[in-house]
Structures are given as structure tokens and as C-alpha cells.
Copies of this chain bind each other. A is one copy, B any other.
Amino acid sequence: MDKLKDRIVRDGVAIGTEILKVDTFLNHQIDVDLFEEMGAEFRRRFGDVADRVDKILTVEASGIAVAAFTARAFGGVPVVFAKKEKPSTMDDEYYFSEVMSFTKRKLSAIRVAKKFLSAGDRCLIIDDFLAHGQAALGLLHICGQAGAEVLGCGIVIEKAFQGGGAKLREKGVRVESLAVVASIESGVIHFGDAAAPDAPAPGTPAP
């Protein structure tokens, strides 16, 4: 998605070789017009399964807005966002999965109340970043527990060099990333081949 890539180049800040900071439009301040276009782009990319999507699944917090605009583009299907903390009101039974955050260097649990995910539900997983793949794998694990089907995984920015995309694709999950970053070097962001997001970008570590 060229508009997104242009925005990443214009406003993104590359830190070291691992971190891409996009807080001006994606995960601290939100550009809702861009989010609306991203939702429409996910709808276009998953057009072949659009009438089968029952739910959009994401993780709080920065996945919520992009999931919500995507749900709107899919005709208003419900969004379910996994919680990182167990709320005091969450007395229901829930599915959970342990997720390692590499940036925060800690293990945490994500939870989805069982009543919001049922056997046979067809889900689209949406998230802002795909790095080491922990959040997406956690959601996949939760869908597995529920017996829900994962139609695919829509990602705003995939950092291909961190291997999460490769892990998901190895498991047979269809991944559509609106921008694929192949590497970050000396403050410069190198994009991979977003036109063929199922193939690793040149220079990406092999699975």
C-alpha cells in the first residue's frame, strides 16, 4: 500500500536495526483517514473470503482502531480484542495464551472470553505490527482452543526480518501485510516485496 509506505518514509523513525517508530500516525496518535483506507485495503485483499468473515480478532491496545475500521469495511462484523490484563469484571471462562513481548522483554497473557469465540467461527486476525509474531501466534492459539477457523492475518506493518511472518506462513496461515519492511539499516527503512507478501522479501532470513 503505497500511501502507507510513503507515510512510513515521511514520518517513521528507524531506531537501530530493529525498531520502527510510527507513533505519529499508527500507535499513539492515529490518522483516522489513513485507518479507513487501510480497512478498505484489507477488505480488497481478503475480498475472496469477505462474505465468510464472522469476526475480526485483535489484541489491545494499538490493534483496536485498525481492527474496528477493518470490521466496518467488512460490513460491520464484530471486533473482539484480546485483553492483556484480566479485568475485575471478567468472571467468565476465557481462553488464554502466553505472549512474549520482545520490546518490553516480558511474558504476558492475552485472554478472550469463551462466549466471544465459538467452534466454527471464521476469524480474520488484524494487528498493527507483525514482528516476532508473538501476538498473532497467541491469537492463533486461542482460535485453536475455540475450534475457530482463521481465514487470514492482516497486518499493517510486517517487519519481515524478525521472522513472525515466516512462522505464520509455515503454519499455513495466509498473511497480508500492507507494508513489508525487509530491513532497517543506519536509519534507513528498506521495504520488501509487498506485491507478493507470501514470499519472503529479498534479504529476509529464510524460515
* Interface of A toward B, CB cutoff 8 Å: 15, 19, 21, 23-24, 28-33, 35-36, 60-62, 64-65, 68-69, 71-72, 76-81, 83-85, 87-90, 103-104, 112-113, 115-116
Separation of A48 and B84 alpha carbons in the complex (Å): 38
- Judging by beta carbons under 8 Å apart, are A31 and B104 in contact? no
Q: Give the residues in chain B near A88, CB-CB below 8 Å.
A: 19, 103-104
Across the interface, do B29 and A78 meet the contact criterion of CB distance under 8 Å? yes
Taking a contact as CB atoms under 8 Å apart, the answer to whether A36 and B78 are in contact is: no
Docked pose: A19 CA to B112 CA in angstroms: 20
**Residues of B contacting A19 with CB < 8 Å?**
88-89
Q: How far is the CA of A7 from the CA of B116 in the complex (A)?
A: 17
B116 touches A81 (CB 8 A): no
B104 touches A32 (CB 8 A): no
Report 16 cross-chain contacts, Cβ distance below 8 Å, ordered by A residue: A19-B88, A21-B89, A23-B90, A28-B81, A29-B78, A30-B71, A30-B80, A32-B76, A32-B77, A36-B72, A60-B60, A61-B83, A64-B64, A65-B65, A68-B69, A87-B104
Is A30 within 8 A of B103, CB to CB? no
Tell me the nearest residue of chain B to A36, going by C-beta: B72
B103 near A89 with CB under 8 A, answer: yes
